[in-house]
Amino acid sequence: MSQMPESPASPPAGAPRLNVDIERRLPEFRLAVSLQVGTEICVLFGPSGVGKTTTLNIIAGLLSPDAGEIVLDGRPLFRRGRPGTACNVPARHRNIGYVFQGYALFPHLNALENVAYPLRGQRDARLRAVALLDRMHLAHLTDRYPAELSGGQQQRVAIARALAADPQVLLLDEPFSALDAGVREHLQRDLAALQAELQLAVIYVTHRLEDAFAMGHTLAVMGEGQVAQVGPIEEVFRRPVNAGVAEIMGVRNLFRARVISAGPEGLTLDWDGLRLEGPPQAATAGAILTSYIRPEEIKVLYPDRPLTGAVARNQVSGRIVESRPSTSYRVLRVALENGHELEVRFPRQAYVGLPLSVGETVSLSLRREALVGLEMTPRAS
């Protein structure tokens, strides 16, 4: 997995502003989402088809759940099958801005008219639309129609339109998926600044971890219609609660090993014939522990140097089956003697003197403290 950029600083602690507890039966699965969002950017992360967009549409009022409750700043927007008076506030009265994946701009209206559309009937609609376009660095393109704008410019118009009515919540559905890296990074910075300035509660849907780290304060990992884990983004990334969350996030080097012993000094594991040591963890001898180690925590060993300290433990060897360079790092895929594979990642300038081409044999050390145990399955009786 590629090295993630630093996530934004955490926003000030405070009570959740948006409380979502919804259920809806879908053809593929039952959607059951429970989520609390404060004045922050909460990233709703997961693969396609797990209900992320449906969740946004329900929050926005474009779809109705079968049951549940949505409350914004103490004001119920939807309630059915929960204690209290039933309600279903229309989308136009929810004070929620929505940026759709396909922008959804009106093709027959220019940029100014698109942004002013939610303000129609208000005397200062034009002035506010101009101010928003200026904030999005588009004041010089007010007369352009969507077909005359680039993808990044269309996205800025869509964001300006979503902000026109002073929403309390902003929903973003894969907003930058069609943009190149440079444009995407500029928009992410501008949007993060707007969130902080306007003190918005933001739910940002993406399936790209890079986008999540660039934008998010908290990460809600979604799979099969449910939020499987939510928390500070760095914490969720480094400590997924189970193998399912780890797989959704693309965590590398997941493996299942039998617990040989567990005590205050640490774990001893048998990974299909390879003996590994891990940090202390509650475990039962004979149980199967699902664990992982990040590719950056695996060290390549020099054959002509003495092994001391941390690298003396958890030595394995194998054959390189893939060697993939990039501008700043190199990734190796190594087939081990027990039939499994590991991904190894290190700065490109490291190990310059070692032969690390496909077909070469390489020795590795799996850093003991970096072995992360996720979930334990009792030994079959």
pLDDT value at 336 more than 90: yes
Q: How confident is the model at residue 2 (pLDDT cuts 50, 70, 90)?
A: very low
pLDDT at 16 (0 to 100):
86
CB 217 within 8 A of CB 11: yes
The tokens describing 58, both together, are 């329900």
Tell me the mean pLDDT in the region 223-249: 91
| Predicted confidence (pLDDT) at residue 1 exceeds the cutoff of 50 | no
4 band by pLDDT with thresholds 50, 70 and 90: very low
Report how far residue 249's alpha carbon sits from residue 237's, in angstroms, rounded to the nearest whole number. 8
- Note the pLDDT of residue 11: 52
* Each residue's pLDDT tens digit, 120-129: 878 889 999 9
What is the tens place of the pLDDT at every residue in 352-375?
A: 889 999 999 999 999 999 999 988
Residue 8 scores a pLDDT above 80? no
pLDDT in the model for residue 169: 97
Q: What is the DSSP string of 192-227?
A: HHHHHHHT-EEEEEES-HHHHHHH-SEEEEEETTEE
At 233, which helix (H) or strand (E)? helix 233-238
User: CA 340, CA 364: separation in Å to the nearest integer?
Assistant: 14
Look at residue 14 in the predicted model and tell me its pLDDT. 63
Give CA 302 to chain center in angstroms: 36
Alpha-carbon dihedral of residues 188, 194, 195, 200, nearest 10 degrees? -140
Which domains does the chain carry? 18-95+167-248 (3.40.50.300), 254-377 (2.40.50.100)
- Tell me: pLDDT of 140 over 70: yes
Provide mean pLDDT across the span 240-268: 92
Burial class (CB in 10 A: 0-12, 13-18, 19+), 332: buried
Q: 251-283: b or e for each residue (b if 16 or more CB lie within 10 Å)? A: bbbebbbebeebeeebbbbebeebebbbeeeeb
On the question of pLDDT at 138 being above 70, the answer is yes
For residue 95, how far is the Cα from the chain centroid? Answer: 26
Please report the pLDDT score of residue 319 as a whole number: 97
DSSP symbol at 379: P
pLDDT at 381 over 50: no
* Overall average pLDDT of the 328-332 stretch: 92
Nearest residue to 101 via CA among 17, 13, 162: 162
Could you please report the per-residue DSSP string of 113-134?
HHHHGGGTT-TTHHHHHHHHHH
Burial class (CB in 10 A: 0-12, 13-18, 19+), 154: buried
pLDDT, average across residues 234-247:
89
DSSP H or E stretch at residue 376: strand 372-377
pLDDT digits (tens, 9 = 90+) for 264-303: 999 999 999 999 999 998 889 999 999 999 999 999 999 8
pTM passes above 0.75: yes
Residues recorded for the chain: 381
Residues 235, 369: Cα–Cα separation, whole Å: 17
Look up residue 74 and give its DSSP letter. T
Computed over every residue of the chain, the mean pLDDT equals: 91
Write down the pLDDT at residue 91: 95
CA angle 358/363/365 to nearest 5° reads 125
How far apart are alpha carbons 18 and 2 in whole angstroms?
Answer: 32
